[in-house]
Structures are given as C-alpha cells and as structure tokens.
Amino acid sequence: MPGGRRTFVVIDGENIDATLGTSILQRRPNPEERPRWDRVTEFAADLWDQPVTGLFFINASQGYLPLPFVQALLALDYRVIPLSGDPGQKVVDVGIQRTLEALAGHDDADVLLLSHDADFADHMARLQVGDRRLGLIAFPEFTSGQFTELGIRIHDLETEVGAFNTTLPRVRIIPLDEFDPESFLR
C-alpha cells in the first residue's frame, strides 16, 4: 500500500446501533444519542498517529439507502459500503469478514473494528501477525469475551473515544482509578 502504514476503521453499523438501542437505551436512539462518527476516525488517527480509512458497512438488502446518513458519512470521508443479499443473509457480517480476510494481505494495515460480534474473532485472530496493531471499539460490557481472550485491546466508544454528545445510561465496570463518586451524587 503506497504511503506507509494506515489504520482501517471497520464499522459494523448494525451491531453498534442494535447494542445502543436494545441493550443500553432500550428504545430507538434519538439523533443526538447516536455516535459522532468523525470522532471515531479522529480517535483512530490519534491512537496510532497515522492516516485513517473509515469503512462503514450498511445493509442495503431492502433496496434503498438512508441517503442523508450516507451523505453525512461521505462528507466525513468514510467509504460507505452498502451491501445487499438474500433475505436472512447477514450481508454486513459477510462483507466485514471478507474485508478482514483481504486486510491480511496488507502488512502495513492496522485495524480497529467497531462491533461486539464474536463472528469476527477468528478473522481478527488471523490478523495478529507481525507488527500489525489491532483494536476493538465498542461498549466493553457487551463485547464478546473472545476478543479479550485474543488480547485485543478494547476502547470504550463512549468514555475513551468520546463519540457521544450525551451521557448514556450504562451500567459498566469502572476501574477504581477512574471512579469519581461525584458523578453518582448529582
């Protein structure tokens, strides 16, 4: 790949949205409760101090695209990947798996995956070669333990990445060094 090392931010948008809506908010997220995707790529660029390519996978099996959302992602320099397939086919998962397989052939590609899904653990394990850096951006309390077993660092989408404009109603494990009792006394 010309130009040196690059971080690929691979986003399983369905998984992040479903976890946010079903497990955290227990309802459909309002626009102000959704991640600020520009902050994700900014975090990625700062993390390993190198250029970032954002790949955002969308299930387009219904035959349409959420155009305002796609346009917003394009304005943020994401590469939007709308996939379609047969009913019941996990097109986003298959697309991400194929992309992770393809990245194995790019020695100068580091990877940050945004998903909680264990379906990608084997693919991430195969990327653990040489000096490639790997990470996961997610809500750690909902992340598959398979990623932890692989030793892949998990970056909290809310607290570490700072991808939200609002505080989410999460019950998460707080490292004692980060515990601020004042936040529970308001």
DSSP 118-186: GGGHHHHHHT--TT--EEEEE-GGGS-HHHHHTT-EEEETTTTT---SS---------GGG--GGGG--
Cα separation, 103 vs 15, in Å, equals: 21
Residue 109 maps to a domain: yes
Establish if 1 belongs to a structural domain: no
Does any domain span residue 41?
A: yes
C-alpha 94/C-alpha 98 separation (Å) is 6
Instruction: For residue 59, give the nearest of 70, 68, 75 by alpha carbon.
Output: 70
For residue 62, the domain's CATH number is: 3.40.50.1010
Residue 107 domain-assigned (yes or no):
yes
What are the pLDDT digits (tens) for 103-152? Answer: 999 999 999 999 999 999 999 999 999 999 999 999 999 999 999 999 99
Please check whether residue 61 lies inside any domain of the structure: yes
Using pLDDT thresholds of 50, 70 and 90, give the confidence band for residue 1: very low
Residue 44 lies in a domain: yes
User: What is the per-residue pLDDT across 143-152, written as a single tens digit (0 to 9) for each?
Assistant: 999 999 999 9
pTM: 0.92
pLDDT above 90 covers what percent of the chain? 84
Which domain covers residue 116, as residue numbers?
6-184
Residue 68 lies in a domain: yes
Q: What is the DSSP code (8-state) at residue 25?
A: I
Average pLDDT, the chain: 94
Count of domains forming the chain: 1
Cα separation, 35 vs 151, whole angstroms: 25
